[in-house]
Amino acid sequence: MSISYTEPAVTSAPDSPSYPPSVDKLARSLADIDLPHPMLVEAARAAIDAGDPQRARELAATMARSLLRPVINGTGTLLHTNLGRAPLAWSQAAAYSNLELDLTTGERGSRMATAPALIARACGAEAALVVNNCAAAVMLVLAALAEGRGVVVSRGELVEIGGGFRVPEVMERSGARLIEVGTTNRTRVDDFRRAVDEHGDDAGVLLQVHQSNYRIVGFTEAPRTAELASIDRPLVADIGSGLLDSRCPWLDSGPPGWLDDEPAARQTLDAGADLVTFSGDKLFGGPQAGIIAGRADLVAACSRHPLARALRPGSLVLGALQETALAYLRGDGDAIPFWRMVAVPVETLRHRAAALGVGIPVDVMSTPGGGTLPTVEIPSAGVAVPGDHRERLRNRPRPLIARVVDNRTIVDLRTVEADDDAEVAAALADISTPTDAAVDD
C-alpha cells in the first residue's frame, strides 16, 4: 500500500479560465492511491464536475480512508462499538472446510456441530445455536417459541441497546406479542404469575432482558431468574454481554471485582433459565455473532424455524468462534485478546507508558464499553500529549484512535497490544514535530 494520508494541499480554484483536464489523465495522476482504477475515475469525474479538479486527490484519499483496515485502539474502551467491539485475531487462507461434512461418516454433517457445540460445553448448556448477532438470537427464539402468542416481560426491561435493538420492536418482528408486567422500577415474580394465569396458553414464554447499558437505582425490585424458573413456561434470559461463567476459570487472577453483578451464561442456566442469548463480540471476546444456549429441545425448535436459515453464520464466523470456545475450554484467557487486555496489571501498563519515551505518563480509567457495564471503570495507564491530535493520528496508514480530555490527547495502553507500543511511540513522536498541517494555522 502506498497511500498518502497527509492532507492534500488545498489550493483555491483558479479564477482564470482553464480547460478541465481529461478525467482519465486526472485519474492516472492518482495512481499512487491504492484504489481500483474505476474508483479513481469516479473521484476525478466528481472533482471535474464540481469545477475543482484539484480536489480529486482529496476525494480519492477519502474513499481510500473509508475502507476497512486495522487500527490501534488507544481509547481504553475495550469493547469499542465503532472499532468492532472485541479485538479479533482470526484469518483464514483460501481453503475448503468440513463446514457441513461429517469426517467420520463421510455423510452430510451440521455446521452447528462445531463451534456451537463447544460453546454449549463451555457454559454447561445441553445445546447451542449460532446466528448473526444477539438481536437475531432474541428474534429467532421468540419466533420459534412464541410466534402468534404472548411473551411476558417486565416493564423495567423493555430496553433499547445500542444500535437500535429495542425489545418491543424485535418482539413485534418475531411475530410474538408483548405482555408487559410490573412497573419501570419494580416488578415481582407475582406479576409474571398473574399474567400467566390470566393469559393461559397464550402466554408462551417468559423473557428476562439484562439492563446491559444502563442501571435503575434506588427503589427497585426485579425477580431473580430462579424465581421466574418456578413458573411453568419456558424462561428465556437475554444476558447480552456473553460472560460465560461468573467464576472466570480462564483467568489466573480469578474474576475481576467489576464483573460482580454481570449475569453469566452458566449461572443463569443453573438458576433455571431454559435458554440464554448473548453476543459473540462483547465479554465473550469473539467475532460478531449471537448465541442461543440451553435446553436441547428448545434449541432444536429454534434451528427448525425458517428464520434460522436466514440468520446462520458462515465458516469465517464459526471458525473464529471455535477458536474462542477452545480457548475457554483450555482455561486459557490469554488466548482471547479481550481477556488478555483485561488481565494486564496496571503496573505493567505504567512501565510500558514510561518506556514509550514520548508524552507524559498518566494514570487513566479504561471502560468495558460495547453497551456493557455502564458504570464500570478499570484502572489503567497511558500517555498524554498536550493538544487535540486525534485527526492526525486517525490519518496514519494504521490509524491510532485516541481520546481527548481537557485538551490533552490521551492514549490508554490497556487496549493497545504491547507489540504495538513502538508504533504508538512513533505516532506520538510524529505529532510532537511540526509538519505541513501546522502551516495552515
Ligand X SMILES: *Cc1c(COP(=O)(O)O)cnc(C)c1O
Residues that bind ligand X (CB under 6 A): 133-135, 161, 163, 165, 209-210, 212, 238, 240-241, 279, 290, 371
Minimum distance of ligand X from residue 167's CB (angstroms)? 8
Measured from the CB atom, the residue of 372 and 380 that comes closer to ligand X is: 372
Minimum distance of ligand X from residue 182's CB (angstroms)? 18
Minimum distance of ligand X from residue 155's CB (angstroms)? 16
Buried b (16+ CB within 10 A) or exposed e, 361-388: bbebebbbbbbbbeebebebbbbbbeee
Measured from the CB atom, the residue of 283 and 401 that comes closer to ligand X is: 283
Measured from the CB atom, the residue of 182 and 359 that comes closer to ligand X is: 182
For cell 510500558, name the residue.
352
Measured from the CB atom, the residue of 40 and 376 that comes closer to ligand X is: 376
Q: How far apart (Å, rounded) are the C-alpha atoms in residues 303 and 280?
A: 18
The H or E element containing residue 174 is helix 167-174
Among residues 331, 330, 380, which one has the least CA distance to residue 78? 380
Minimum distance of ligand X from residue 185's CB (angstroms)? 18
The DSSP call for residue 51 is T
Minimum distance of ligand X from residue 282's CB (angstroms)? 6
Measured from the CB atom, the residue of 59 and 134 that comes closer to ligand X is: 134
Measured from the CB atom, the residue of 80 and 352 that comes closer to ligand X is: 80
127-131 and 165-166 beta bridge pairing = unpaired
Residues 309, 136, 97, 301: is their CA dihedral positive or negative? negative
Minimum distance of ligand X from residue 305's CB (angstroms)? 18
Q: How far apart (Å, rounded) are the C-alpha atoms in residues 305 and 299?
A: 10
Minimum distance of ligand X from residue 29's CB (angstroms)? 43
Asked if 350 and 381 count as a contact pair (C-beta separation under 8 A), the reply is yes
Q: How far apart (Å, rounded) are the C-alpha atoms in residues 190 and 199?
A: 14
DSSP 365-381: EEEEETT--TT--EEEE
**Number of residues that make up the chain:** 441
Minimum distance of ligand X from residue 390's CB (angstroms)? 26
Asked if 86 and 285 count as a contact pair (C-beta separation under 8 A), the reply is yes
Minimum distance of ligand X from residue 240's CB (angstroms)? 2
Minimum distance of ligand X from residue 271's CB (angstroms)? 17
Measured from the CB atom, the residue of 277 and 409 that comes closer to ligand X is: 277
Measured from the CB atom, the residue of 137 and 195 that comes closer to ligand X is: 137
Measured from the CB atom, the residue of 240 and 359 that comes closer to ligand X is: 240
Q: Alpha-carbon Rg of the chain, whole angstroms?
A: 26
Name the CA dihedral angle for 30, 36, 41, 43, rounded to a multiple of 10 degrees: -70
360-369 and 378-386 beta bridge pairing = antiparallel
Q: How far apart (Å, rounded) are the C-alpha atoms in residues 129 and 149?
A: 23
Q: How far apart (Å, rounded) are the C-alpha atoms in residues 180 and 205?
A: 12
DSSP three-state, residue 215: coil
Measured from the CB atom, the residue of 336 and 353 that comes closer to ligand X is: 336
**358 is written with which cell numbers?**
514520548
Residue 210: exposure state from Cβ atoms within 10 A (0-12, 13-18, ≥19): buried
